[in-house]
Structure 1
Amino acid sequence: MSETTSRFVVSADWVEKQLGTSGFKVVDASWYLPAHKRAAKDEYVAGHLPGAVFFDQDAIADHATGLPHSLPSPEFFAVEVGKLGISETDTIVVYDGMGFFSAPRVWWMLRTMGAKDVYVLDGGLDGWKAEGRALETGTATPVTAVFKPKFRADKVIPFETMREIVDDGSAQIADARGAGRFTGEEAEPRAGMRSGHMPGARSLPATSLSTNGRFKDVATLKTMISDAGIDLSRPVVTSCGSGVTAAVIMLALESVGHDDNALYDGSWSEWGSRQDTPVATGPAEAIKA
């Protein structure tokens, strides 16, 4: 890894050298929208990185919220991740099919729950396959481990706090959805949701932060964040459709040295489906001097 690369992003060459070593764990965190026409679990069974376990983001979740794949309690998370053979002291590499779509969400979850050495595979599974690297098939049967959670509540924003942030502007809001959904020109993929964005939010589409499954270099990330109207000297809350790609912005922020950030877990699935929340349309509002 060079100084220009995110310290949280690792190459396939590096991962390949670590495979099978003590305390090194690989996690397939693939998750897709219906529009992708890909089945994450089926793809995992058909071929995954050697030794990788499958992290089901819809199963390892709080099912009582009525929202998709909400962050579960630390206790539930610890039990389920322990079943995957993962400890908070392991070196963990997370990947998804495309590179930087759903893997950053599990990277963020693991770190929020207390794991320290967590990374994302550059290029994802698609890149690994394209380079002809080894794959395993079937389902892994890991030895259960003990994951001792140390929950960082400051990294998660609940709805009531999000309302306060929108009202008082105490933190900046970075929206990872596509530009059309942000402006309200495109309908939301989930039924019953209004289109648009939270007043004061800035648009920073998650898909813009990587190219062909490769995360952009630190200098480029910093420029993109600044160009979106986000001040790196102030706190930032990230949001998206359902809390998944908001973590891609979290990865970008942490990569450029910004750690005063948190993720709004309910994201637009919560905000846009309610009738008592303000919604703005059109481009982001002009920044006041």
Structure 2
Amino acid sequence: MVLRAEQGGGWEVVRPAGQPEYDGVELVGYHDRAGQGLDMRVLPEPGLTIVLVLDGELWIDPTRPVAAGIVSGVGVNSVRVCGRDVACVDIHLSPLAAYSVLDGAVAELAGTVVSFEDLWGSEARRLRAALAGTGRWEERFGELRAALADRLHTNRSVDPEVAFVWRGLVASGGRRRTGALAAETGWSRKRLWSRFTAQIGVTPKRAAMIVRLAPAIEAIVAGTAFSEVAARFGYADQSHLTRDLRELAGFTPAALYRAWHESDHDSGTFV
């Protein structure tokens, strides 16, 4: 297997070639070779992330040490994560894939960051030991593929109607009306709201807000004018963008931009 490795800011970043491995799954390896430490904020994104720690130490907020790693749910509101001498693998999951990988435990994770061991228990420790026991990224990614494939193929999946609505929201950048998507499935709005929230972790309306906000956050920290960000991503105006950003992430656009550029973002200030 061919790996793609990048070096920047003291971090080694390794990606398997040919991603995505499975629909809604992305793997990325990280190693803090310079020993500069990790201090980041997990912001809302339309997916879940498992950070599996291979070496070093990780804390949540930053007083809760975690051994095997962390899991961040859909719609996390600015949770701080710190680390030291970290080598890890990030497993990025769409909510559709996460529902199978985490055996339905998606709604319970919404808006939170928890220890990976709280979800997978001894399996999390076994997987961490297997990956930490080799210095070869090819073997680490292979071990992860096997663990994920087993869960993707054997655990339950979301309803096809829920998957249809989620994909419609993502394809439209969060702009499709959920009532129209519900009508296309043949479900009532009430039934869609109930099943979608149970399987994705947030209501369709909030999912649309998160899908729209994620690329807007990237544009804001890249220095794009706030009014242009609002227009580009379908907000009614800059005030609309500010309201959603404050509600979902706890920042105004200006505060988010300052926090990014006043910090050492090479060490992963935002995820």
Normalising to structure 2: TM-score of the pair? 0.29
Bigger fraction of residues in helix? 2
Bigger fraction of residues in strand? 2
